[in-house]
Amino acid sequence: MREKLIESFWDALEQTHPVTLTKAHLPLRTPSFIVSVGKAALTMLEPARAAFPNAPYIAVPKDATPSEDRTGRIMPAAHPVPDGKSVGAAEVVLDAISKLGSGDFLLFLVSGGGSSLICAPWGISLETKQTLTQALLRSGADIQEMNAVRKHLSRIKGGRLAAATQARILALYLSDVPGDDLSVIASGPTVPDQSTFAEALDILDKYVLDFPEVRAHLQKGARGQLPESPKPGDAWLERVENRLIGSNQTLLLAAQRYWQQQGFQAVILSDRFQGEARDLARFHAALVQSIRTHATPFLPPVLLLSGGEASVTVHGSGQGGRNQEFLAWLAFYLREEGVWALAADSDGIDGNSEAAGALLAPDTWSRAQKHNLDLKAHLSRNDAGSFFKALDDLLVTGPTANNLNDFRMIYIA
C-alpha cells in the first residue's frame, strides 16, 4: 500500500502536468507578448513557446537558472517571502506590458506563488513587505486574508497588472487555492478585487499585527486618499479573459481515476478544506473511526481523497509544513488504530522542509514508541518533519513543476 500511495501521487501529478493543461487552452492568435509567473511558470511557458516561438516572453519561476535568449528572459525570484529579485522581475514585467498598445495581445500564464515572485511594493519598503509576509505566514491567516492585505500594498496584485496595459489579455490560471477564486491565485493580477483597504486593516487587527508603516498606508487608502484596487464592472475588464485551466479538484479526480482502475473504492470528500491542520486531522480521524465502527458514511474498504489548504499557527521552530503536521495530528488522534495515509503539497515543498509531505502506516504509533519519539512534544514545537524523518516516512520529491494545492489520501481497510 505504501508504494501504491506514492505511485498514485505521481500518477495524478503526471495527469495534471501544466504542459498538458496549458497546451489545451492556448489561443490561435500569436501573442504580442507572453508573461509566465508562478511555481509552474516554466512548465506553463513550455507549450506556449513551442506554439509561438517568435513571441517575446518573460518568465518568473521559483527555482531556475537565470537566462536570456533572442526572444525573452527567465528571471527566477523568491517564494514565499519576496526578495530583491522579485522586485526586479516585477519592474521588468510592468515596463514591458506598459509599452503594449490597444492592438496588442498579452498571453499571461499564472500559477500559485506569483504573489511573492513578482513583487512591486506600494507605500511600503521591500523590507517591511518581507517582514509582514513572514508574520502573516506564522499567524495562521488563510490565503484569502493574506492576499487581501497584499493586494493593497502592491502595484501588480488585485487587477493592477491588467490595468497597467492597454493590450487585450488572455490569462490562463492554475489554481492552488480552495474554491478556485481567480482573484486569490497569485493575488489575482488580472482579476478585479472585491476586498478593500478597510478590510486589510481589519485583518491586521484580527491577528494583532502592528506594522506602523503598513497601517499608515492602508489608513490613507481607507480615507479615500489612495485609489482602491480595480473592482468588478471596471471598463478594463472588457479586454481581459481570465480562464481556469487546472485546479485541486482536477488533481483529486486524477487520483480517483488511478484508484478506481486499480479496483478500489475511492471517494473525494472535498477540494475545499481549510483551517488549522490540527482541526482537519481531528475531522479525518473521526471519519476513519466512524467508517470502522459503523460502516458509515462509507463501507470499508475505502480510500478517502481530500484537498484544499490547511494552515498552521506556528508556535515552535521545528521542521515541516502543514501536510506533515496534518499527518502527525492524525497519528496522534488515531494512535494504535492507525491507517495508511499520504499528505503532500503538489508543488513538492511542504513548509520549511525538504519534503513534499509524509506517509502514515498502521504501525506509525507503535514504531514511534519503539524509537522513543514523543509525538506530542514534536507537535508542540511544530516539528512534524523531524518526527517523520526519524521514522524514514518523509515523502521527498523535489520541486514537481506543478502547483495544485494540498493532496491527502487515507486508506481504510
pLDDT in tens, 205-250: 999 999 999 999 999 999 999 999 999 999 888 999 999 999 999 9
- pLDDT for the residue numbered 113: 92
pLDDT at 144 exceeding the cut of 90: no
Q: Kindly give, in sequence order, each residue whose CB lies less than 8 Å from that of residue 362, ignoring residues fewer than 6 positions away.
A: 338, 339, 340
Which cell goes with 142? 488563510
HSE-up of residue 249 (Cα within 13 Å, Cβ side): 9
| CATH architecture of the domain with residue range 248-412 | 3-Layer(aba) Sandwich (3.40)
pLDDT at 63 exceeding the cut of 90: no
Q: Which one of 3.30.1490.100, 3.50.30.60, 3.40.50.880, 3.40.50.10180 gives the CATH number of domain 31-246?
A: 3.40.50.10180
pLDDT at 4 exceeding the cut of 90: yes
Q: Is-contact 387 373, C-beta < 8 A?
A: yes
Per mean pLDDT, which of 96-100, 135-139, 173-177 is the most reliable? 96-100
Which cell goes with 227? 485609489
Instruction: Check the CA dihedral 64-25-234-133 and report its sign.
Output: negative
pLDDT in tens, 312-326: 999 999 999 999 999
| CATH 3.40.50.10180, the chain: domain bounds | 31-246
Q: Is-contact 37 75, C-beta < 8 A?
A: no
> In angstroms, rounded to a whole number, what is the distance separating the alpha carbons of residues 122 and 175?
25
For cell 501573442, what's the residue? 31
H or E element in which residue 290 lies: helix 277-294
Amino acid in position 161: L
pLDDT at 140 exceeding the cut of 90: no
What's this model's pTM, rounded to 2 decimal places? 0.88
Which cell goes with 168? 487585450
| CATH 3.40.1480.10, the chain: domain bounds | 248-412
